[in-house]
Amino acid sequence: MKFYYLDFSALLVMLILLSVLFFKRMIRGDINRYFLLLLCVSIATTVADVWAIMLDNGVIEGGETAKYIAHSLYLFLHNATTPLFIVYCTALTDTWVVGKYRMIKKILFWLPLVTIYVLLLFNGNSQKMFYLDANGAYTRGPWFGMLYLITGIYVVYGIGKVIRCWIYFDIGRWVALFSGIGFMLIATVIQFFHKELRIEMFSGALALLFILLMVHRPEEMIDNETGLLTQTAFKNLMFRSEKRNKLKKIIVFSVTNYKKTHAKYRYEQEIVLGRGIADIMTGYTEMFKERADVYHIGSGRFAMVAKAEEPSINVVNVARQLNETLSKPFELDNTEVYFEPNICVIQFLKDIQDANTLMHFIEDLGGTGKTDDVIFARDTFKQERYDILTEIDDILEDAIKNKKFKVYYQPIYSVEEGCFRTAEALIRLYDDKYGFIPPDLFIPAAERSGAILEIGDIVLEQVCEFISSEVYKKLGLHYIEVNLSVVQCMHEGMVGNIMELFDKYHIRSTDINLEITETAVSDGQEIMDRNINDLFNEGICFSLDDFGTGYSNMQRIASLPLSIIKIDKTIVDDAGKLSMQIVIENTVKMIKALGMKIVVEGVETEQQLNQFISLRCDYIQGYYFSKPLPKDDFVTFLMDKAS
């Protein structure tokens, strides 16, 4: 008499697992797919086992043929699980065989299983594996031990593999994987001696549950919203590729207007958008014969990674087609959403050599806005930028210590007065090793490390010194615009610092305008509000920088003591488009109605100049008039213009 209650329990556990996989959309990507396959085969094995036991126990009627089929089916399926488990581990670690002897290695791997299958196929005649005795009872044949032997071979191979792959796992995962194997081994031994106790399937189900929770870690590897693989999964894959020196062809899609769409849509709508992108990208993976996986790396970034080092299809073509598809509007609740794609093709290890740098590079993608054509990392990737980033803390410390920061001034033209009345102070850094380092690169790093506080003081001090100089008084400037970082705005001592400097250089609070950015003020931090209001009460005016780059909360903007709004260069660049003109016209009207002045930034052409002058904007800043200049050149520039 065999017990099949444990089989029923196993079925229950595995069906729950199966539903979890489907509800969590864990069906995409190699790792998911092989886990799913393993689970399905285990479920089928259990069903076959129950069927066979029921026939054996006489619970259901069936002839000898039925018994043969049921037992053979069980053995067929059951013996496939160990090799499939190894395949799953291979997918987990991305350690597929490559190279010249690939085919031979593959054949060698499957050979033992094929041998079992051949033996089982001919068992009807040979009766070597099992047979039905005189009473019609299932009996193990003389060669039955072959099954254990071959499974044993796979188990040894699998254990060897897991041990060899230990570097690809963190210790927790590795132990979990081993415990899973341990479970199975113990159960197999028990069942070998007590074949009436059908414990193997149940312990298999538990091992799968254990692996799902501890190794697969869906919460970490699978993005709940899109069902795609996560950034963690992507990083893991890239670190493994780096270690194993394996090339990866990657297409990264970055939604350059992510911040805007992110703020505009409801949570549920965003999920629909994310799933839309996931479906489009997953659709394109079908073009690869060896498949490709799609990852959602967060903040509007998605990546498609080809499985093979040399994919069957030209990755650039796929990228181009993807670019075309994603440039088209996406339907959402009867409105059209434009993604403004930036698509980049990266050959990992060729264009970029290490995973950390790759992650930084991807983070930077799309920062410069939408691109019409596909871009290539081999063209745009500059190793130097990332070398600077790795050394940035030391570079900044050195620059502060050795007074390497210089303030440049970009003149700002007053439309009403027909001359230059103000200027923006912009920081410049020349490093001995790397030369000019753009502020866009070091300001964010300085904000992270806190060095921005000292840098901010350096800028303010140089500006105050300039304003207090004799030559400045001859220039006829009303004030200088100085950029403030969010970190400075949130610093308790900020107001005291600034007022001290003003005292030291005997300058008035109206000599300086402080620029704060839209994204900074949208946070609405208490300290920031207090700082801004305190400075305002001291008579300092504020300008809102980069207007139009984020999602403007007009209510918030109107509540701040702002006297100037600076329209960002990206808006100016789009100003030629018919659709943008109405938006700009109305924006200008609205700002004026709020009683604020307008500075237009990044004006480069005469056409742009005339357009904004005719819109009655107050000030113009941009290369059309001048780039930021060193103090002395700036003075000469203004003197020349005045004469």
Which residues of this chain interact with Ca ion, rule CB under 5 A?
483, 515, 545-546, 601
Complex with Ca ion: residue 236 or 513, whichever CB lies closer: 513
Paired tokens of 624: 């059309």
Shortest distance (Å) from residue 619 CB to ligand C2E: 12
Give the integer Cα–Cα distance in Å for 413 and 471: 19
Interface stretch with ligand C2E, choices 72-80, 184-192, 240-248, 435-443 (CB under 6 A): 435-443
Which of the choices ligand C2E, Ca ion, none does residue 628 contact, using the CB cut-off of 5 to 8 A by kind?
ligand C2E
DSSP assignment of 412-443: EEETTTTEEEEEEEEEEEEETTTEEE-HHHHH
Question: Which x/- pattern, by CB under 6 A, does the window 562-591 give for ligand C2E?
Answer: -------x----------------------
Single-letter amino acid code for the residue at 96:
W
Interface stretch with ligand C2E, choices 93-101, 115-123, 333-341, 620-628 (CB under 6 A): 620-628
Which strand (E) or helix (H) includes residue 134? none
DSSP assignment of 278-332: HHHHHHHHTTSTT-EEEEEEETTEEEEEESSSS-SS-HHHHHHHHHHHHHS-EEE
Three-state secondary-structure class, residue 476: coil
Among the listed residues 274, 366, 411, 622, the single contact to ligand C2E using CB under 6 A = 622
Give the integer Cα–Cα distance in Å for 598 and 391: 39
Complex with ligand C2E: residue 119 or 425, whichever CB lies closer: 425
Give the integer Cα–Cα distance in Å for 494 and 265: 36
Interface stretch with ligand C2E, choices 114-122, 296-304, 581-589, 600-608 (CB under 6 A): 600-608
Shortest distance (Å) from residue 301 CB to ligand C2E: 23
Q: Contact, 1 vs 264, CB < 8 A? A: no
226: nearest Cα among 287, 290, 288, 297: 297
Question: Binding of ligand C2E at residue 237 (CB under 6 A)?
Answer: no
Which of the choices Ca ion, ligand C2E, none does residue 439 contact, using the CB cut-off of 5 to 8 A by kind?
ligand C2E
Question: Binding of ligand C2E at residue 623 (CB under 6 A)?
Answer: yes
Length of the chain: 643
Which of the choices ligand C2E, Ca ion, none does residue 438 contact, using the CB cut-off of 5 to 8 A by kind?
ligand C2E
Size of residue set near ligand C2E by CB under 6 A: 21
List all residues 6 or more positions away from 194 whose beta carbon is below 8 Å from its beta carbon. none
Give the integer Cα–Cα distance in Å for 237 and 229: 11
DSSP assignment of 24-82: TTTTSSHHHHHHHHHHHHHHHHHHHHHHHHHHHTTSS---HHHHHHHHHHHHHHHHHHH
Question: Binding of ligand C2E at residue 29 (CB under 6 A)?
Answer: no
Which of the choices ligand C2E, Ca ion, none does residue 600 contact, using the CB cut-off of 5 to 8 A by kind?
none
Complex with ligand C2E: residue 7 or 515, whichever CB lies closer: 515
List all residues 6 or more positions away from 392 whose beta carbon is below 8 Å from its beta carbon. 441, 442, 445, 446, 449
Question: Binding of ligand C2E at residue 483 (CB under 6 A)?
Answer: yes
Question: Burial letters for 98-111: b for 16+ Cβ neighbours within 10 Å, e otherwise?
Answer: eeeeeeeeeeebee
195: nearest Cα among 4, 382, 8: 4
Q: Which of residues 487-546 bind ligand C2E (CB under 6 A)?
A: 545-546
Shortest distance (Å) from residue 604 CB to ligand C2E: 4
Shortest distance (Å) from residue 245 CB to ligand C2E: 38
Question: Binding of ligand C2E at residue 440 (CB under 6 A)?
Answer: yes
Question: Binding of ligand C2E at residue 439 (CB under 6 A)?
Answer: yes
Complex with ligand C2E: residue 240 or 569, whichever CB lies closer: 569
Complex with ligand C2E: residue 7 or 601, whichever CB lies closer: 601
Shortest distance (Å) from residue 413 CB to ligand C2E: 12
Give the integer Cα–Cα distance in Å for 219 and 629: 52
Q: Which residues partner with 255 through β-bridges?
A: 341
Residue 355: how many CA atoms within 13 Å on its side-chain side?
18
Paired tokens of 265: 């849509």
Which of the choices ligand C2E, Ca ion, none does residue 440 contact, using the CB cut-off of 5 to 8 A by kind?
ligand C2E
Complex with Ca ion: residue 241 or 422, whichever CB lies closer: 422
Interface stretch with ligand C2E, choices 79-87, 92-100, 249-257, 434-442 (CB under 6 A): 434-442
Q: Which of residues 358-417 bind ligand C2E (CB under 6 A)?
A: 410
Among the listed residues 52, 181, 459, 520, the single contact to ligand C2E using CB under 6 A = 459
Complex with Ca ion: residue 202 or 547, whichever CB lies closer: 547
Among the listed residues 342, 371, 485, 531, the single contact to ligand C2E using CB under 6 A = 485
Shortest distance (Å) from residue 618 CB to Ca ion: 16
Shortest distance (Å) from residue 380 CB to ligand C2E: 17
Question: Binding of ligand C2E at residue 423 (CB under 6 A)?
Answer: no
Paired tokens of 39: 């689970």
Q: Contact, 180 vs 207, CB < 8 A? A: yes
Paired tokens of 13: 């556990």
Question: Binding of ligand C2E at residue 298 (CB under 6 A)?
Answer: no
Which of the choices ligand C2E, Ca ion, none does residue 622 contact, using the CB cut-off of 5 to 8 A by kind?
ligand C2E
Complex with ligand C2E: residue 410 or 422, whichever CB lies closer: 410
Binding site for ligand C2E (CB under 6 A): 410, 426-427, 438-440, 443, 459, 483, 485, 545-546, 569, 601-604, 621-623, 628
